[in-house]
C-alpha cells in the first residue's frame, strides 16, 4: 500500500489533500514543483482552490503568491487562476485562464530567466518562502526523496521553504529512481566553485532530493498523470523551417565549423523543434547529445534510434503515447536521460562551456534581429522568456524560429521594430522562417535588415518591410539603425485596431 | 637602445611605421590592440591613414576592416575615420569622427558583448584575420611579449592572425612586467574546461603573451603616451546618484544580504562610477575587490587607501596624473592589479560565480526597466554595449545609473518605451538617477513602472510619465505591460523634430 513511502516518520504525516490545503494561509508565498506540465502537485492546489472559493464566497480575501519551476497544468495554475487565488506568479506560466487574468491586469506576473530563479530565491530577492508543495515519486527509508518527472527548482524550494508538503504520486513510474542528478555543490558568492561538468553526460550530483524531515508537515498520496499534452505532428511550415536549418547545419559542417556530431542541442517545445528533431534523424545524424530543458516525444524517438546518444534536461513534456513508450522502455531511457535542477540545466556557465546549439521559438523578430519572445503587440504576455535567454546569450549558435506569419496570414512575424525585446540584436545569430534563413553572424545592423527582409519575410509583407527600410535609410535621424519613429510600431497598432497588420483596402 | 626588444630575431625586423603600414592591403581584416584608450598601436595606424589618403587622392579605393579590444584613440580610430579608411569596425568605439561616419551610414559597425569577441573570432564568425597590429611593452629573449597597458583581445589576435606587426612602446613603464595574467586554458567546444578562478585575486595564467615568431613581419618602436583622457571630478548629480546607491548598499548590509566587504565591483567608466568609488571611500569601506574591465584614477586612489585590496581588469584608463601616480608607485600597484584578457575579465562564468555588483551607465530606461545603453532616439549610436551585458546579466546585482535628464534638462532619461533595448526587463535590478533609486527586484512590470516614475523621473517629466502610464493602464491592448503604441516613442520623435522631449508651449 505505502510502498512509495518507505520512511516510517513520513508515513505518520499522510493526510488528505484537503487537510494539507488547510495548512496554507492567505498571503503566503508558496513554492511548488512543476516544469512544462510535468511533476507538479495535482491534489493540494485543487483542494486549495476549493477552499479559496469557499472563503471568497464568505467574503474573505484569500490569495497567495506562487513560484514554480516553469509551466504547470489546469490542476494547478488553471484551478488557482479560476478562483482568483493568486496575487503574484513567477517565473513562467502558460495557462489560458491565468494568461487572461494577467493581461486583464488582475494578477502580477514576473517573467524571469529560468536559471536565475533559484539564486534569486537564495539571495532573498523574493522574500521568505513560507511553504513548498512538491510532487515526488517516492520517499526512501532515510527520508530522501525520489524526484518526479521534473526537477525544476525543487532543490531550492525544499531547502528554502519554512515548511514542506509532499505529494507522493504513485502514477509516476518507480523506475524514475536513479535517473536524476541533483547537484549539491552550489553556494552563494563569494563561496562559489566551478561546476564540475564538461559534457552533458557527466553526473555531478546524487539521484535524490534532500529534505529536513522536521519541515515536512504533510504528505498527500496521489495517483494521476501529468498534463501530457498531445503531440502534434509537424505541419508543412515547421518542416520547411527545419529544412532551412538543417541545410544550414550541413553547410557549417562542410565549412569545418561544426563536427558531424554537432554540439549539444537545446530545443524549445513545440512543432518546429519536433520537425528539427525529425529532420536530424532523416539527415543521418548519429551520436548527438542534448543539453536542454525538456524531453519531448521527438527526443525519445531519437534516443531510441541512436540519433541522440543521451539527453540532459530538467523535465519531461510527453504526450500520453510518449509516457507509454517511456514506461515500456524505462531501463533503456534511464541510461540515456539525466534530469537536473533547472539552475544546472540552464546554467550560463555550462551553456557557454558546452557550446550549445540553441533552438528557440519567437513571436516576432524585427529587421535588425531584436527578438520578441513574450508579448503580443508589446503589451499582452503570451507565456514568458523561460530559458531562451539562458541559452541564446551563451550558446555557440543562437537560432530563433517562427512561421513568417500568424493569425491566418494577417500578422507578420518580421516587423519594423519589435514591440517588446527579450533577446537583443547582440544575442541573435540566426533567424529562420518557412521562407528562409538569415545568418546574421558578423553583420552590422543594415546588413542584417537586408538579409532578414530578403530571406525571412513573407511575400505579403516583404515589400512593406523593404519600403520601410528604404525610407528609414533615407530619413532616419541616425543611420546606424535606421527607423522612422512615427511608424516603427504602426504595424502593431494597426493589428490592435483592426486585427490585421495589413493596411486596409 | 633596444633594451625593450631582447630577442635578436625580432631586432632584425624593426622597421619604420611607414614600412609596416605598407604591409597592409585594401580589404584586409586587421585586428588591433587597444581597450578604453590604452595599449593601442600609435604609429602604424597613422602611417596607414596617410597612405590611405594618398591612395584615395590617386583615385584608388583603400578601406579595411578593423577589430580591437574596445575603444582606442585619435591616433587609431580618429585617423582611420578621418580618411574614410574603414568599411567595418567592431566591437566597440567612442571616437567622434568615427561615430559621425557610422551615423551617416558610411561605415558598418557591429556592436558586440565584449566577452563574445574572442570566441566568435575563434569560431570563424568574422572570417580570417589577415593581420594583427599589437602594442606591447617589450619582447623577451625568447620572443614572448610583455603586454602593454591593456590586454583586450590580444591573445586571440596573436593566435588567430595570419601575420603580426608589433609596436614596442617604450613609453609604457617597464615595470608592467609581471602584472598581467594571460590564461591559455581556453578551448573550443566540446573541449572546454571550467575556468579555475574562484576569487578576483586568483592568477590562473602567465604574465606574457605568446606569439609564433615566424608570423611577426614587422616591429615598430614607439615612445608615446596612451589617450589619457583627463579625469573630471564628479559633479553634483553624480554625487547624488552615488549617494542613493551607497544608501542602498548600506541597507543591503543591514538586511544581511551583503557582507561589509560587499562583492567584487564592476564599474563602468565616467563621472558617476568615480563618484561611487569616492563614496565607498568616504563610507568607510575597506578590503573590497574589483572584478571589472577598466582601472580608472578613482580605483588607484582606493587601492592606495586600502578601500580596495585588489582589482582585476583588462585595461587601464588613466588621466596623465593617474599615469604619473601609477608610475611613481608601480611596485605597489603591481601587487594589487591583475590585467587579464577581456574574455576572462568579462566572462559570464566568472561574473556569475564571483557574484559581481555591476555598476553601469545608461542612455535611458523605460518605465518597465528596459535599458538603452547605445542609441540616441533609437537610431543614432553613441558608443556601444561594451561589457555591460556580460556583467548585468550575470551579476549578483545589476545597477544602471544616469542623471534623470540630458541636454540641459530637455531630454528625460526615463521614457515611456526605450527606443533601443540593450538590457531587457529580465536583466535590470536597480535604476538610479539623482532623483532616487528604484529597486526592481521581485517586482512585476506595473509595480516597476510605479516605482521608477516615482523615484527616478525628473519632476519636469514625472507628471507626463504618470499620465502616460495611467492612460496605458486604462487603454492598453494588454495590461501586463501597458503601452499606448501610438505614443510609446513620441517623446523620442519630438526630440528628433524639436530638439526637446518637452511638448511645445
- For residue B481, the chain A residues in CB contact (below 8 A) are 375, 378-379, 381, 420
Report helix, strand or coil for B20. Answer: helix
Distance in angstroms (rounded) separating the CA atoms of residues B399 and A124 = 17
**Structure confidence at residue A192 (pLDDT):** 98
| Nearest chain B residue to A99, by CA | B480
B2 — pLDDT class (breaks 50, 70, 90): low
* C-beta atoms of B192 and A199 within 8 A: no
* C-beta atoms of B108 and A444 within 8 A: yes
**Concatenated DSSP letters for A8-75?**
HHHHTTB--HHHHHTT--TT-EEEE--BTTBS---SHHHHHHHHHHHHHHTT----EEEE-SS---II
Rounded mean pLDDT, B410-416: 98
**Structure confidence at residue B383 (pLDDT):** 97
- For residue A375, the chain B residues in CB contact (below 8 A) are 478, 480-481
B194 touches chain A (CB under 8 A): yes
Q: Is the pLDDT of residue A446 over 70?
A: yes
**Structure confidence at residue B68 (pLDDT):** 98
- For residue B427, the chain A residues in CB contact (below 8 A) are 113
Q: B residues 455-484 near A, CB within 8 Å?
A: 472-473, 476-483
A144 — pLDDT class (breaks 50, 70, 90): very high
A355 touches chain B (CB under 8 A): yes
What does the pLDDT look like over A263-312, one tens digit per residue?
Answer: 999 998 888 998 999 999 999 999 999 999 999 999 999 999 999 999 99
Q: At what angle do helices B297-305 and B271-282 cross, to 10 degrees?
A: 10
By Cβ distance, the residue of B113, B352, B425 closest to A348 is B352
Q: Which of B477, B487, B500 would best serve as a mutation to test chain A binding (most A beta carbons within 10 A)?
A: B477
Cβ atoms of A22 and A57 within 8 Å: the answer is: no
Q: What percent of chain B has pLDDT over 90?
A: 96
What does the pLDDT look like over A248-261, one tens digit per residue?
Answer: 999 999 999 999 99
Q: Is the pLDDT of residue A1 over 60?
A: no
Rounded mean pLDDT, B391-395: 98
Q: A residues 252-311 near B, CB within 8 Å?
A: 255, 257, 259, 263-264
By Cβ distance, the residue of B108, B123, B479 closest to A104 is B479
- Interface size between A and B, measured as CB pairs under 8 A: 239
**Concatenated DSSP letters for B55-103?**
HHHTT----EEEE-SS---IIIIIHHHHTT-EEEEES----HHHHHHHH
B87 touches chain A (CB under 8 A): no
Cβ atoms of B32 and B71 within 8 Å: the answer is: no
* C-beta atoms of A111 and B426 within 8 A: yes
**Structure confidence at residue B467 (pLDDT):** 98
Rounded mean pLDDT, A130-153: 98
Rounded mean pLDDT, A311-329: 95
Which of B221, B293, B343, B364 is flagged as catalytic?
A: B293
* C-beta atoms of A443 and B110 within 8 A: yes
What does the pLDDT look like over A22-58, one tens digit per residue?
Answer: 999 999 999 999 999 999 999 999 999 999 999 999 9
* C-beta atoms of B389 and A426 within 8 A: yes
Distance from the B154 Cα atom to the nearest Cα atom in chain A, whole angstroms: 19
By Cβ distance, the residue of B421, B426, B496 closest to A385 is B426
| Nearest chain A residue to B115, by CA | A394
Rounded mean pLDDT, A317-322: 94
Comparing A168 with A271, the larger pLDDT belongs to A168
| Nearest chain A residue to B255, by CA | A124
Q: Is the pLDDT of residue A401 over 70?
A: yes
A198 — pLDDT class (breaks 50, 70, 90): very high
Non-local (6+) Cβ contacts of B439 within 8 A are: B248, B429, B430, B451
Q: What percent of chain A has pLDDT over 90?
A: 96
Q: What percent of chain B has pLDDT over 70?
A: 99
Rounded mean pLDDT, A382-393: 97
* C-beta atoms of B355 and A192 within 8 A: yes
Report helix, strand or coil for A81. Answer: helix
**Structure confidence at residue B229 (pLDDT):** 85
Q: Is the pLDDT of residue B189 over 90?
A: yes
* C-beta atoms of A441 and B393 within 8 A: no
* C-beta atoms of A380 and B480 within 8 A: yes
Q: Which of A477, A484, A493 would best serve as a mutation to test chain B binding (most B beta carbons within 10 A)?
A: A477
Q: Is the pLDDT of residue B276 over 70?
A: yes
- For residue A378, the chain B residues in CB contact (below 8 A) are 417, 478, 481, 483, 485, 488
By Cβ distance, the residue of B355, B423, B447 closest to A108 is B447
Distance in angstroms (rounded) separating the CA atoms of residues A264 and A200 = 7
By Cβ distance, the residue of A88, A426, A477 closest to B444 is A88
Rounded mean pLDDT, B297-326: 95
Q: Is the pLDDT of residue A136 over 80?
A: yes
Nearest to A226 by CA among A172, A306, A293, A179: A172
All cell numbers assigned to A269? 517545445
* C-beta atoms of B480 and A105 within 8 A: yes
Q: B residues 201-230 near A, CB within 8 Å?
A: none
Cell 563574445, located at residue: B116
**Concatenated DSSP letters for A431-467?**
EEETTEEEE-TT--HHHHHHHHHHHHS-TTTHHHHHH
Report helix, strand or coil for A89. Answer: strand
Scanning B88-194, the segments in alpha helix (DSSP H) are 96-103, 117-123, 154-160
On average, the pLDDT of chain A sits at: 97
Q: Which of A481, A490, A492 would best serve as a mutation to test chain B binding (most B beta carbons within 10 A)?
A: A481
Report helix, strand or coil for B258. Answer: coil
Q: At what angle do helices A297-305 and A320-328 cross, to 10 degrees?
A: 30
**Structure confidence at residue B230 (pLDDT):** 84
* C-beta atoms of A446 and B105 within 8 A: yes
Q: Which of B100, B347, B442, B471 would best serve as a mutation to test chain A binding (most A beta carbons within 10 A)?
A: B442
Element spanning A398, H or E: strand A397-401
pTM to 2 decimal places: 0.98
* C-beta atoms of A379 and B480 within 8 A: yes
Cell 545592423, located at residue: A445
| Nearest chain A residue to B390, by CA | A393
B269 — pLDDT class (breaks 50, 70, 90): confident
Q: Catalytic residue positions of A?
A: 293
B125 touches chain A (CB under 8 A): yes
A198 touches chain B (CB under 8 A): yes
Distance from the B125 Cα atom to the nearest Cα atom in chain A, whole angstroms: 6
Non-local (6+) Cβ contacts of B169 within 8 A are: B42, B135, B136, B137, B148, B222, B223, B224
Q: Is the pLDDT of residue B215 over 90?
A: yes
- For residue A109, the chain B residues in CB contact (below 8 A) are 444, 480
Q: Is the pLDDT of residue A2 over 80?
A: no
All cell numbers assigned to B199? 576569487
On average, the pLDDT of chain B sits at: 97
Q: Is the pLDDT of residue A474 over 90?
A: yes
Global ipTM: 0.98
| Cα R_g (chain B), whole angstroms | 23
Nearest to B382 by CA among B424, B413, B409: B413
Distance from the A377 Cα atom to the nearest Cα atom in chain B, whole angstroms: 8
Amino acid at each position: 500500500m505505502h510502498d512509495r513511502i518507505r520512511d516510517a516518520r513520513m508515513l505518520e504525516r499522510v493526510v488528505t489533500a484537503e487537510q494539507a490545503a488547510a495548512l496554507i494561509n492567505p498571503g503566503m508565498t508558496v513554492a511548488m514543483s512543476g516544469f512544462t506540465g510535468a511533476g507538479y502537485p495535482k491534489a493540494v492546489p485543487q483542494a486549495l482552490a476549493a477552499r479559496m472559493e469557499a472563503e471568497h464566497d464568505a467574503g474573505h480575501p484569500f490569495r497567495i503568491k506562487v513560484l514554480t519551476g516553469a509551466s504547470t497544468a489546469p490542476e494547478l495554475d488553471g484551478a488557482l487562476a479560476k478562483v482568483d487565488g493568486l496575487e503574484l506568479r513567477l517565473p513562467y506560466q502558460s495557462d489560458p485562464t491565468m494568461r487572461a487574468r494577467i493581461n486583464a491586469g488582475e494578477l502580477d506576473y514576473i517573467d524571469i530567466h529560468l536559471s536565475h530563479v533559484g539564486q534569486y530565491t537564495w539571495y532573498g530577492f523574493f522574500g521568505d518562502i513560507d511553504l513548498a508543495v512538491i510532487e515526488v515519486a517516492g520517499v526512501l527509508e532515510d527520508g530522501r526523496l525520489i524526484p518526479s518527472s521534473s526537477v525544476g527548482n525543487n532543490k531550492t524550494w525544499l531547502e528554502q521553504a519554512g515548511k514542506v508538503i509532499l505529494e507522493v504520486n504513485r502514477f509516476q513510474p518507480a523506475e524514475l529512481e536513479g535517473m536524476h542528478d541533483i547537484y549539491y555543490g552550489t553556494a552563494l558568492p563569494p563561496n562559489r566553485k566551478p561546476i564540475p561538468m564538461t559534457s552533458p553526460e557527466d553526473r555531478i550530483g546524487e539521484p535524490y532530493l534532500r529534505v529536513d524531515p522536521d519541515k515536512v508537515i504533510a504528505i498527500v498520496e496521489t495517483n494521476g498523470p501529468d498534463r501530457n499534452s498531445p503531440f502534434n505532428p509537424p505541419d508543412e511550415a515547421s518542416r520547411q523551417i527545419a529544412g532551412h536549418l538543417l541545410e544550414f547545419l550541413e553547410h557549417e559542417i562542410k565549412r569545418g565549423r561544426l563536427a558531424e556530431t554537432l554540439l549539444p542541442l537545446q530545443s524549445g517545445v513545440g512543432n518546429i523543434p519536433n520537425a528539427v528533431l525529425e529532420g536530424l534523424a532523416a539527415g543521418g545524424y548519429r551520436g548527438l547529445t542534448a543539453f536542454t530543458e525538456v524531453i519531448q516525444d521527438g527526443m525519445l524517438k531519437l534516443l531510441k534510434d541512436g540519433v541522440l546518444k543521451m539527453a540532459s534536461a530538467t523535465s519531461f513534456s510527453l504526450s500520453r503515447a510518449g509516457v507509454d513508450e517511456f514506461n515500456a522502455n524505462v531501463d533503456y531511457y534511464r541510461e540515456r536521460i539525466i534530469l537536473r535542477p533547472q539552475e544546472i540545466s540552464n546554467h550560463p556557465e555550462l551553456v557557454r562551456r558546452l557550446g550549445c546549439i540553441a533552438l528557440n521559438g519567437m513571436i516576432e523578430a524585427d529587421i535588425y534581429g531584436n527578438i520578441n519572445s513574450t508579448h503580443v503587440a508589446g503589451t499582452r504576455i503570451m507565456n514568458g522568456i523561460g530559458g531562451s535567454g539562458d541559452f541564446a546569450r551563451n550558446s555557440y549558435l543562437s537560432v530563433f524560429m517562427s512561421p513568417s506569419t500568424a493569425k491566418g496570414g494577417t500578422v507578420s512575424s518580421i516587423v519594423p521594430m519589435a514591440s517588446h525585446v527579450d533577446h537583443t540584436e547582440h544575442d541573435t545569430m540566426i533567424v529562420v522562417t518557412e521562407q528562409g534563413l538569415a545568418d546574421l553572424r558578423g553583420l552590422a545592423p543594415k546588413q542584417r535588415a537586408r538579409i532578414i527582409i530578403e530571406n525571412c519575410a513573407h511575400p505579403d509583407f516583404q515589400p512593406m518591410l523593404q519600403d520601410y527600410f528604404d525610407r528609414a535609410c533615407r530619413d532616419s535621424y541616425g543611420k546606424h539603425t535606421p527607423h522612422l519613429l512615427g511608424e516603427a510600431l504602426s504595424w502593431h497598432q494597426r493589428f490592435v485596431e483592426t486585427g490585421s497588420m495589413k493596411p486596409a483596402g
